[in-house]
Each structure stands twice: as C-alpha cells, then as structure tokens.
Amino acid sequence: MKKLGVNIDHIATVRNARGEHHPDPYYAALQVVKMGADSVTIHLREDRRHINDLDAKKICKSKKVLVNLEISMNDQIVKNALKIKPDYICFVPENRKEVTTEGGLNLIKNKKKIKNIIEKFKKNKIRTSLFINPSIRDIRMSKELNADCIEIHTGKISNLIKSKKRYNVELDRIKKCSKLAKKLNLEVHAGHGLDYKTTKILCKIKEIKEFNIGHFIIGESIFFGLSSVIKNFKKIIKN
C-alpha cells in the first residue's frame, strides 16, 4: 500500500507572514493525520523560513504523528535534528537563494559526510532517506551510503507534465531507478512539485511506496479544504 506524507511547511509560511501564532503547524500536523495522511513532513531550513525548532520539537514530541524531518547536512542542523528525534529523516540539499529544494543531493561530493551522518541517525533508530535526482549512479551510491530509503526528486517530470511537454524519457528514468532501488532493498519515495495529474502518472510505478506532497495540497486547500484534498490524494495513491 502506498503512503501519503503531507508537507506542512507552508502552514508555517502563512503563520510567519504575520509573525503571530495562527495557523499553528502543530495543530495542522494532528489534523492532516486525522484526515488520512500517513505522516507529516517538515523541513527545518537553515534560515528557518517556515518551520522553526520549537514547531519541530512540539510535533515530534507529541508522538501522535509519524514525522519525516527534512534537513541539510549543516552540522548545527544535524545536531538539532538528533535532539528533536523525528521518526524519519530525509537529507536534502539546501541553497541560500533557492525558493524551494532545487534538485537532489550531490552524493559524490559529500560521500564521507553523508555516510557518517546516516550512521548517527541509524544508531538512534531513525529511518534515513536521501533526496536524489533519478540517476542510476545515485541509486547505487545511496545503497553504498547505507540509507534506508531514497526519495526521487520529481520536479523535472512535474514541470514537463504541467507545461504539456513530452515526459516519457523522464518517466522511464524514474521507473528504471525505482526498480533498481527496490532490487537493492531501498524503499522508494517520490516528491516535489506533485499535483493530482503528476501523482496519478507516477502512481503506476509500483515500486514507489511513499509520496511526499506539500505546496499543491496547501494551495488547493484554500479552495476545497484540507480534508477533501487529502482524501482525493489518498484515493489516487490507494491502488
């Protein structure tokens, strides 16, 4: 059965726009799970643009939801994450000027560092995932680095589909990577830029076990409500 992780970062973006307390990401985390999400994703960015340490601690401490914490390899962030103790950790690249996570990790450049950090989280029984581009080389490297899961960056295919361009080559790449990852015993996740249409297309890849979706869910909820949007996604990924 495929799982849905709801990224609630943009609940914090709306809260932060006023610098006050509403809407509360902690309340959102509890609600999205009641509405059918299997887990919540939060990204503790170095610039604390949306979720902050207090939000992350409160959400993880509640033990009422499974939390997937996204972080960069920054030493201080890694230290904080080990204290926050999420259920799952997903390592993502982070670039100061980016609007959102642009592309996957550079595993070759950061090989040693990533391996050491993965080991620390595994010792703490925290599931580890690497956010990577759909590349065979990166899948093999993720296995070498001893990650539990890989999350395939779906930004490129999402943009192609949304702009009505040919996406078969990219879809094929994602399929091949998913098959190899499964064969190597890596759990396969997918995320970034997903909406109903892109999720429907990627859902056909049976090796993908988890979708992590944020911006579209929160945006669409303005018109149709969080509960109804989550239900629609659950229906799509159910098969």
The SS3 assignment for 239 reads coil
Closer CB to ligand PXP, residue 15 or residue 20? 15
Q: How far is the CB of 44 from ligand PXP (least distance, A)?
A: 11
The residue type found at 194 is L
Q: Which of 26, 88, 121, 131 binds ligand PXP (CB under 6 A)?
A: 131
CB closer to ligand PXP out of 20 and 225: 225
Q: Are 224 and 186 in contact (CB under 8 A)?
A: no
Shortest distance (Å) from residue 154 CB to ligand PXP: 8
Binding of ligand PXP by 146 (CB under 6 A): no
Residue 104 gets the label, from left (phi > 0), alpha (psi -120 to 50) or beta, of: beta
Residue with tokens 């859902």: 203
Which listed residue (10, 43, 50, 153) is catalytic? 43
31, 39, 101, 133: which one contacts ligand PXP (CB under 6 A)?
Answer: 101
What are the backbone angles phi and psi of residue 62, rounded to the nearest 5°?
-60, -30
Contact 52, 16 (CB under 8 A): no
Among 95, 100, 146, 239, interactor with ligand PXP by CB under 6 A: 100
Distance CA 139, CA 180 (A): 7
215 is catalytic: no
Catalytic residue among 94, 153, 192, 207: 192
Handedness of CA 168, 235, 237, 5 (dihedral sign): positive
Which of 173, 179, 215, 231 forms a contact with ligand PXP (CB under 6 A)? 215
Interhelix angle 168-183/155-162, rounded to 10 degrees, is 150
Interacting residue with ligand PXP among 11, 42, 152, 213 (CB under 6 A) = 213
Catalog residues that contact ligand PXP under the rule CB under 6 A. Answer: 7, 43, 70, 90, 92, 100-101, 131, 151, 191-194, 212-216
